[in-house]
A and B are shown apart, each in its own frame.
Chain A
Amino acid sequence: MRVLGIETSCDETGVAVYDSERGLCAHAVYSQTEIHAVYGGVVPELASRDHVRKTLPLIRQTLTEAELSPEQIDGVAYTAGPGLIGALLVGAALGRALAWAWEVPAIGVHHLEGHLLAPFLEDKPPPCPFIALLVSGGHSQIIHVPEVGIYQLLGESVDDAAGEAFDKTAKLLGLPYPGGPQLARLAERGDPTRYRFPRPMTDRPGLNLSFSGLKTYTLNALQQTLGERDDTEQVHADIARAFEEAVVDTLVIKCRRALESTGVPRLILAGGVSANRRLRERMAAAMQPLGAELYYPRAEFCTDNGAMIAYAGWRRLAAGHQQPLAITPRPRWPLTDLVPLA
């Protein structure tokens, strides 16, 4: 079965074709980052407008690259939520109409299920059960996955998402939007002993997370050093390092706790922040004493993409799920509301 996947939930247009026999046939992502950079954040109306321009050309491009004709596509999957309503509507309307015209089934995919299943696009997919750490600009969640389609929320951020905290802290350090990845690069040059930020909510039981307080620590550290140090660039690198260490350490502590409390010996990392090198290294090191395995997708499938939507869509279509002839995106859609596959 070959499934066309369409992702338009935020500021990336992603399209892919997944073949249940051969794996991923082709995928393409167009990022709107440059459009939104001057605004310091995603402008929903501009995002929606750009998806209308880019989605269909990307579909044509992906089919060409996959050397597939439309008759060879057996289903269409599109992100139905959560996300920006206007952006979701574009992919959902186009995808649902395309499936109607092709006379094939369609499925609205949960964006986070897409992320959680992204490691299945790799050669060595994780067996179930596993614990998933989903960390992106919009979400920070720790999820127990006994089997594909069943998602039990163990903990989540009570305020900023991890990626959001990265971007906001980057802004405080004068880095252009979206500063998360740049902050990580800056942190490489930072002295890890210069500042120490707290590891929020690690001193109490439970698996919830909180990252908004780290912004305050960043501001305080910046103000403290005003007049004390004149090597501004190094100060920024040191603060970036302290921030990154705090986020990574917190995530490691919570994931270790999740594995220990559930007895599940497997962790997957998903979402944009899971591309962070230090997070992957630290998490891998933390798995060893637990005898647990770590899985994560290649970097390009950590951020929003069509491949994960095509894959998750295939899993649901193969299990007999279908979307009726209506375009009904859900901008707010708890992962735990998803119906099991079988």
Chain B
Amino acid sequence: MPANPNDQPTILALETSSGACSAALLHQGAITQHLELAPRRQGDLLLGMLDALLKAAELKLSEVDVIAFGQGPGAFTGVRIGTAVAQGAAFGANRPLLGISSLAGLAHAGWRHYGGGEQRLFAAIDARIGEIYCGAFAVNGQGQAQPLGSETVTTPEKLTVPEIAVTHGVGNAWALYDEPLRARIDLAQAQIASTIHGEAQDIAALARWSLDQACAAELAQPVYLRDQVAAIPGSALLDSAPVAA
């Protein structure tokens, strides 16, 4: 596997954690991508997209250096489809697998949207039941993202953020919680883009910087952030009702 981005690694990437389904191939320094806004249709589309990318580049899956996937947080089902497809592909082709934060991917999409350079982005997406998944990232001129603090799931009201001057806010949470977010984040100079999604090309671009973290397929797992998804009978809050076996 190439040790640094200058070696022009071949990376096959996918991102299904939002309402979009996308697959991208980074090969010989150039990126190609298929993307569809297709809530709940990722299963129909994803493998066909990956297959078409490889065929167009006349590559075999076994010839890619790394398979990278957006590992969440995001829609649970979307994250799992992406993870399972990435696992199956990586195991089947005996290729290393690399999970990339979907929030970092979103921040990178924002960085592209706003023309590159040095940016500090706050990525936040709707996590339902009044909560958001969010994280802050510094992205440098080459598009390398550094997390500023840890990613969290929280209500906008309980959000605590690193004391940084955010240059850009990205993600659909900004459309839902603009006011409470603005009350907590230093946004003096910030621009907000709430309609941006993280795409597979962002996952591929970020993967270049962490190739050494690629691992065996089964070790790459989804990141949900929300771990309380069911309540024991008799306790409060039932998110997910049990069904008969």
Residues 54-90 of B, flagged 1 when their CB comes within 8 A of A and 0 if not, give 0000000100000000000000110011011111111
Q: Which B-chain residue is minimally distant from A272 (CB atoms)? A: B245
* Chain B residues near A138 (CB-CB < 8 A): 244-245
Interface of B is mostly: helix
* Chain B residues near A43 (CB-CB < 8 A): 229-230, 240, 242
- B223-245 residues with Cβ-Cβ distance < 8 A to A are 224, 229-230, 232-233, 239-240, 242-245
User: B47 on the interface (CB 8 Å rule)?
Assistant: yes
Establish whether residues A42 and B47, one from each chain, have CB atoms under 8 Å apart when the complex forms: no
User: A259 on the interface (CB 8 Å rule)?
Assistant: no
Establish whether residues A48 and B80, one from each chain, have CB atoms under 8 Å apart when the complex forms: yes
Interface of A is mostly: helix
Q: Which of B48, B77, B91, B218 contacts A89 (CB 8 A)?
A: B77
Distance of A48 Cα from B239 Cα, bound (Å): 15
Establish whether residues B43 and A326, one from each chain, have CB atoms under 8 Å apart when the complex forms: yes
Distance of A237 Cα from B183 Cα, bound (Å): 63
Known: A46-B230, A326-B48. A93 touches B244 (CB 8 A): no
Q: Which B-chain residue is minimally distant from A326 (CB atoms)? A: B44
Known: A53-B221, A89-B84, A97-B84. A167 touches B244 (CB 8 A): yes
* Chain A residues near B84 (CB-CB < 8 A): 52, 55, 89-91, 93-94, 97
Q: Which of A86, A90, A101, A137 contacts B244 (CB 8 A)?
A: A137
- A125-153 residues with Cβ-Cβ distance < 8 A to B are 137-138
Return B80 CB to nearest CB of chain A, in Å: 6
Distance of A146 Cα from B145 Cα, bound (Å): 62
User: A163 on the interface (CB 8 Å rule)?
Assistant: yes
Establish whether residues B245 and A167, one from each chain, have CB atoms under 8 Å apart when the complex forms: yes
Return B42 CB to nearest CB of chain A, in Å: 8
* Chain A residues near B229 (CB-CB < 8 A): 43, 45-46, 49
Return A330 CB to nearest CB of chain B, in Å: 11
Distance of A40 Cα from B84 Cα, bound (Å): 28
* Chain B residues near A322 (CB-CB < 8 A): none
Return B114 CB to nearest CB of chain A, in Å: 34
Q: Which A-chain residue is minimally distant from B44 (CB atoms)? A: A326
Known: A57-B218, A70-B92, A97-B88. A42 touches B230 (CB 8 A): no
Q: Which A-chain residue is minimally distant from B240 (CB atoms)? A: A45
User: A241 on the interface (CB 8 Å rule)?
Assistant: no
Return B141 CB to nearest CB of chain A, in Å: 36
Distance of A96 Cα from B84 Cα, bound (Å): 9
* Chain B interface (Cβ < 8 Å from any Cβ of A): 43-48, 50-51, 61, 76-77, 80-81, 83-94, 217-218, 221-222, 224, 229-230, 232-233, 239-240, 242-245
- Can you list 20 contacts pairing A with B, beta carbon distance less than 8 Å? A39-B230, A41-B242, A42-B244, A44-B243, A48-B76, A49-B80, A56-B87, A70-B94, A84-B243, A86-B77, A89-B77, A90-B84, A91-B84, A92-B43, A93-B88, A94-B87, A94-B88, A326-B44, A326-B47, A327-B43
The 9 A-B residue pairs whose C-beta atoms are closest, nearest first, are A101-B92, A41-B242, A97-B88, A327-B43, A93-B84, A98-B88, A137-B245, A56-B218, A94-B84
